[in-house]
């Protein structure tokens, strides 16, 4: 049996590596509260960069990132059976992402992945409409849309910064 905490850490590390390949810079896991003050996080805090979400991102990265990795993600179940106590529901993941993003005045970005499948991301529906994903295959639910990560990584850093500043 796989420890869910270690699976989450692996998911965060994997997501960070994907973002590094696309964006450049250094992405690392937000440390657990017990190991909070490493040299790296201390320098980030001293630079005025707020730590929020699951990843510490480069200062020019406009997103606050939440990462979810599960053995199985049944999107239809995630959308249909929402209640406030359900932490395996897409809307609760999105709400957490939005809360963290507001605190840091960044754009919310939820990354999620099912074992042995590709990464998907959630962004605000308004952002996705402006982004116009290349695949045209995306799902809109409530106030967010789900797209493949490859649809985001087709855009260069400068284009994303410009879109986020609007």
What is the model's pLDDT at position 116? 85
What's the CATH architecture for 4-164?
3-Layer(aba) Sandwich (3.40)
Residue 109 has pLDDT above 90, yes or no: yes
Give the tens place of pLDDT for each residue, 22-49: 999 999 888 753 345 555 555 555 555 5
The residue with tokens 């855009």 is: 155
How would residue 15 be classed by pLDDT, with cut points 50, 70 and 90? very high
Q: Phi first, then psi: what are they for 131, rounded to 5°?
A: -65, -35
What CA–CA distances, in Å, run from 165 to 63, 65, 89, 162? 11, 17, 30, 5
Please state the domain extents for the chain.
Answer: 4-164
- Which has the higher per-residue pLDDT, 43 or 137? 137
Give the tens place of pLDDT for each residue, 38-93: 555 555 555 555 677 899 999 899 999 999 887 766 565 555 555 555 556 778 88
Cα 46–chain centre separation: 24
What is the model's pLDDT at position 24? 92
Which of 57-71, 99-113, 121-135 is least confident? 121-135
Closest CA to 87 of 106, 111, 70, 103: 70
């Amino acid at each position: 049996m796989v420890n869910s905490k270690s699976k989450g850490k692996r998911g965060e590390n994997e997501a960070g590596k994907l973002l590094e390949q696309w964006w450049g810079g250094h992405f690392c896991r937000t440390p657990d509260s017990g190991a909070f003050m490493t040299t790296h996080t201390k320098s980030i805090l001293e630079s005025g960069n707020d730590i929020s979400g699951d990843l510490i991102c480069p200062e020019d990265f406009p997103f606050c990132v939440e990462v979810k990795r599960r053995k199985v993600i049944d999107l239809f179940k995630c959308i249909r059976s929402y209640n406030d106590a359900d932490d395996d529901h897409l809307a609760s993941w999105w709400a957490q992402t939005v809360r963290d993003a507001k605190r840091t005045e960044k754009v919310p970005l939820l990354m999620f992945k099912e074992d042995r499948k590709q990464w998907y991301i959630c962004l605000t529906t308004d952002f996705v409409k402006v982004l116009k994903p290349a695949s045209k295959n995306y799902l809109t639910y409530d106030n967010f849309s789900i797209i493949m990560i490859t649809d985001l990584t087709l855009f260069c850093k400068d284009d994303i910064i410009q879109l986020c500043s609007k």
